[in-house]
Copies of this chain bind each other. A is one copy, B any other.
Amino acid sequence: MQRRMSRGPGRRPGPTETREKILAEARALFAEKGYDGASLRAIARAAGVDPALVHHFFGNKEGVFVEAMRFPADPAVVLPRILGAPRERLGETMVRVFLEIWGDDERRAPLLAMLRSAMTNERAAALLREFVTAALLGRAKEATDAPPLGIQAAVGQMIGIMILRHVVRIEPLASASEDELVELVAPTLQRYLVP
């Protein structure tokens, strides 16, 4: 199943080229089969490399997805930050982490792109749904007793505020300071996460 990737005769691809090749094939497979349907093994096969190399570069399928889709928040990094907070500050910590990610233009752009695709295209919506379910909620469930519906209401609160703040840019929300937003929203998230 090994495919040739060299550009000229006899030239072997370097690690950067191989990495990019894996990501390109992963993007195509995620788009075609969804998150659940695209296995790490199939991604490796499509890229003509050993699965161990994909592991070596990206850790696991979640890591491949985060890189391939430019998902601006690696669950393996973000979730422990939130879930590691003291129980009585879960809400506040979640607000601060979201504000930090969305406040950064470079990380906000791919998030908006993904939301936009999900709003126009059922395959993209399915991809986002499967990834969020497996990588975010599945993982959160293992690490916390927060009710799934509460977690989703909390995520919904942050998505909605971010759309009004950064896309519609309505005042006074667009100009509110991070501390004002924490004061406003943290008790809501706290109640959802620790009912």
A contacts, CB < 8 Å to B: 112, 115-116, 118-120, 125, 128-129, 132-133, 137, 148-150, 152-153, 155-165, 167-173, 176, 180, 184-185, 187-188, 191-192
Interface majority SS on A: helix, strand, loop or mixed? helix
In Å, the complex CA distance between A184 and B157 comes to 12
- Contacts A169-B129, A188-B191 given: A155-B149 contact, CB under 8 Å? no
Question: CB distance A159 to B170 under 8 Å?
Answer: no
Question: CB distance A171 to B133 under 8 Å?
Answer: yes
Question: CB distance A116 to B116 under 8 Å?
Answer: yes
List, sorted by A's number, 13 A–B pairs whose CB atoms are closer than 8 Å: A128-B168, A129-B168, A132-B168, A149-B176, A149-B180, A153-B161, A153-B173, A156-B164, A157-B157, A157-B161, A160-B161, A160-B163, A188-B192
Question: CB distance B153 to A159 under 8 Å?
Answer: no
In Å, the complex CA distance between A160 and B152 comes to 9
